[in-house]
Amino acid sequence: MTAAIISAAGSSRRMGGVKKEYRPLGPGAGRDGKPLTVLGGAVSAFTASPRIGLIVIAVPADPDTGESAARKNLPLRFLQPDASPNIVFVPGGRTRRASVHRALALLAPYHPDYVVIHDGARPWLDAPLLERLLDEVPQRKAVIPILPLIETPKEIDEQGLILRHLKRRTIGTAQTPQAFAYPAILYAHEQAAERELRDRAEYTDDAEVWGEFVGPVSVIPGSPANRKITFPEDLPGPGDPR
């Protein structure tokens, strides 16, 4: 069985404190033409896939923005008792990594073989990208989508001076969902939690956690349409085809 985790427990500080996952995507954004929130869009690709057996959504522990608020911002059909896949909720932690760790731990009694971990602020995931990840993860064990850089990257120091002129062809930007063998990614998060306490380490995505405690991560081409909403201007406006 393959499970999905949706990380939606953040505070949306860069959106001015307005919970971005609960913002509307606009009229006709849903697959059935009905209005959809950002979170609803992020979840919809997984509810549409017969290969996903369970979805865990990490939500804020705050009662005003937690599970009850998340339920109100998802289509009712996603939450009906006979809906497939089933959706369950888990209170998030202090960081994104901690929130994903809690969701992974909740999955333990279900014994999934694989898990795909997605940002709740990426509502435009398309089925072909998800299917490619699901096809690749049984063989590769850890696989993520990558987009090539357009601009030339530079490494700079704290004084604003360039340290290194990096080669664009060897660098890309990571997207989600990221797909992993379940037991190993749970183990990696357990190790990362210990290192955070011991060394005050920080991790920006699950591929970094896997890379440090398990091994290499494979990549596939990402999708330019699979954008992440971070700032208010990232939301589509009237007439925007997104």
Residue 198 resides in a domain: yes
Residue 240 resides in a domain: no
Residue 241 resides in a domain: no
pLDDT for the residue 39? 96
pLDDT for the residue 22? 94
Q: Is the pLDDT confidence value at 29 over 60?
A: no
Domain extent for 174:
2-230
| Across 13-22, 64-73, 161-170, least confident range | 13-22
State the helix-helix crossing angle for 96-107 and 182-199, rounded to 10 degrees: 140
DSSP, res 111: -
pLDDT for the residue 140? 98
pLDDT for the residue 236? 74
Residue 116 resides in a domain: yes
Residue 236 resides in a domain: no
Query: At 14, is the pLDDT very low, low, confident or very high (cuts 50, 70, 90)?
Result: low
Q: pLDDT averaged over the chain?
A: 92
Predicted TM-score of the model (pTM)? 0.92
Residue 56 resides in a domain: yes
DSSP, res 169: G
Residue 238 resides in a domain: no
State mean pLDDT over 218-231. 95
- Residue 56 or 34, more confident: 56
* Domains in the chain, number: 1
Q: What CATH number is attached to the domain comprising 187? A: 3.90.550.10
Residue 239 resides in a domain: no
pLDDT tens for each residue of 157-192: 999 999 999 988 889 999 999 999 999 999 999 999
Largest alpha-carbon pair distance within the chain? Answer: 58
Q: What percent of the chain has pLDDT over 90?
A: 81
SS3 content of the chain, % helix, strand, coil (to 5): 35, 20, 40
